[in-house]
Amino acid sequence: MMTFDFLLKGSWRVGNAREEFTSTDVAASIRILSDELSGIIRQQEIDENSLFVFLIRNNLEGMRSYFIASRLKLRALLLNVGDVGLLSSVINPEHIAALVRQSRTKMRVEGESIQIQLEGIPVTQNDLHVDSTPDLITNISTARFYFMTSGTTSTPKLVQYSESVLIENAAAVVRYLGLDQRDKTLCFFPVQYMYGLSSMLCAFLSNSSIMFESFQCSLVPDLIEQHNITMLPLIGDFMIPLSKMMSGKSCRVKLIINASDRLLTGQALAILPYCESLWNNFGQTESGPRILCLHIKSEDDIARYSRYGVVAPGFPMTSEIRIELRPADTESVGNEMFYQSPYAADGYVNRNFILTQKSIWQRSGDLFDVDNDGCYYWLARSVNEFKFKGRFVPVQLISDQIMRETGIRHYFSRSESGTINVNVEKSAGEEILKTIHRLLAENWHHYSCTLNPVSAFPLTPSGKIKLV
């Protein structure tokens, strides 16, 4: 059974634009930090079977948190220090064993949770060659990791994973992407969420390298060139702005992957010239996260596998994944997708830290169609369809045109009067707002779409637009 701790025996590298560490370096620091935490748990008689919340500031601290929890076989949730206020919405404080930090960070937390500050000590050459096994402090066979998700209900909750399932999912992704030790990934996404975690695990399993950075569109081309990046995980919203920055540059990567809920045809066409292959993916926090994938190598592929302005998520990632499309309701534009996957979560955990086992068939909350070749096409979220005067509003096509001409992030919502709002941040600028207003007036006026400038988008903790 594969564990995060076992991955420390690999030959991968991790870092950022300023520093880099080998797996041997990381392993030495993990031994020191986990031994320190183990000693504190025993000394303070902390309930080792409750939830350990690792409060992190960046992805390197997140990476170390996964390894520490794996080595000690803990039940662990990773949370950015800025999101600590979300804890009370998903779990009662009495079920939190301790808050664990690797840095001195000021914060306010409800309740009387124990706070542990891991100091660590500088790693020496002797530490690099030590291979010890800690005294286990729990009776579970592998660590359990917990992730925040809104699921299909928009209500925050926790899902539970055994670490081995997360690694098996990433191993399947490594196989279909064809990653090996020559690859180097540039990752902008937090490892406490599935996309960032999967990107990190793929690098470790392929014994390649991964570099963590904050997303700044103007700096991405230089990072690609300077660090010989071969794989770039993105979301669709980044693609058009980034393609404009890469225009005229010599940089081109081997792989770009997308894992946003939908990839618009305009986004795919914009980024395709800057990679050898583009992979579209679909998944959820509950699914590990990959269910479907599609390999795109040409504009013909995009045209072939697009419907209503959206590129198909594609085909099941492995033959073990089963999918059923079931009628949602008589007026729906498509059928709702249900799936079975060996990479799915164990189930949801309630506020009292009690696990509800997953159903045999998992409900995705998304409407899909499928063609005769078994390719699955995403149509809409089942709770976010839009109709006006009895007919469906083609929001994907409208969105695709807005993205092609402006590259600006936006979302749709229904106004109190029943019309459709196209929400755009005011900071986009007057010229862009005028362009969107013109597009709506000239091409989509019969659907009563209205431009609605807003001060800021409502976002989930993972940065997705929160549709309510």
Same domain, 403 and 368: no
Tokens of residue 325, six digits: 């499309």
Q: Quick check: 309 and 394 in contact, CB under 8 A? A: yes
Same domain, 117 and 248: no
CATH of the domain at 420: 3.30.70
Same domain, 365 and 411: no
Which residue carries 């920055």 as its tokens?
245
Q: Phi and psi at residue 440, in whole multiples of 5°?
A: -65, -40
How far is residue 110's CA from residue 106's CA, in Å, rounded to a whole number?
Answer: 14
How far is residue 28's CA from residue 294's CA, in Å, rounded to a whole number?
Answer: 39
With respect to residue 60, please indicate whether it lies within any of the assigned structural domains.
Answer: yes
Same domain, 123 and 216: no
Same domain, 251 and 298: yes
Please list the ranges in the chain whose pLDDT falls under 70: 105-113, 119-139, 150-155, 329-333, 383-392, 459-468
With respect to residue 212, please indicate whether it lies within any of the assigned structural domains.
Answer: yes
**What is the structure's pLDDT at 138?**
58
With respect to residue 404, please indicate whether it lies within any of the assigned structural domains.
Answer: yes
**What is the structure's pLDDT at 389?**
63
Same domain, 203 and 288: yes
From the CB of residue 150, how many other CB atoms can be counted at a distance below 10 Å? 18
**What is the structure's pLDDT at 9?**
95
Query: Who contacts 64 (Cβ-Cβ below 8 Å, separation ≥6)?
Result: 26, 29, 30, 33, 102
Same domain, 181 and 134: no
With respect to residue 448, please indicate whether it lies within any of the assigned structural domains.
Answer: yes
Q: Which residues of 369-404 are buried (b: 16+ CB within 10 A; e: fewer)?
A: bbeeeebbbbbbbbebbbeeeeebbebbbbbbbbbb
How far is residue 47's CA from residue 54's CA, in Å, rounded to a whole number?
Answer: 15
Nearest to 311, CA basis, from 325, 293, 326 = 293
* Cα–Cα distances in angstroms (integers) from residue 98 to residues 32, 50, 84, 266, in the given order: 19, 8, 13, 47
How far is residue 447's CA from residue 449's CA, in Å, rounded to a whole number?
Answer: 6
With respect to residue 86, please indicate whether it lies within any of the assigned structural domains.
Answer: yes
Same domain, 212 and 338: yes
Parent domain of 277: 170-344+353-381
Same domain, 123 and 210: no
How far is residue 264's CA from residue 309's CA, in Å, rounded to a whole number?
Answer: 6
How far is residue 412's CA from residue 122's CA, in Å, rounded to a whole number?
Answer: 51
Same domain, 367 and 243: yes
Nearest to 71, CA basis, from 26, 105, 106, 121 = 26
Q: Which of 127, 142, 157 is the last residue of a domain?
A: 142
With respect to residue 157, please indicate whether it lies within any of the assigned structural domains.
Answer: no
Query: Who contacts 71 (Cβ-Cβ below 8 Å, separation ≥6)?
Result: 5, 30, 31, 34, 134
How far is residue 26's CA from residue 20's CA, in Å, rounded to a whole number?
Answer: 10
This prediction's pTM: 0.84
Same domain, 334 and 406: no
CATH of the domain at 78: 3.40.50
How far is residue 410's CA from residue 190's CA, in Å, rounded to a whole number?
Answer: 22
With respect to residue 419, please indicate whether it lies within any of the assigned structural domains.
Answer: yes
**What is the structure's pLDDT at 334?**
74
**What is the structure's pLDDT at 125?**
52
With respect to residue 415, please indicate whether it lies within any of the assigned structural domains.
Answer: yes
CATH of the domain at 335: 3.40.50.12780
Tell me the CA end-to-end span of the chain in Å, nearest whole number: 40
How many domains does the chain contain in total? Answer: 3
Which residue carries 């059928």 as its tokens?
335
Same domain, 366 and 396: no
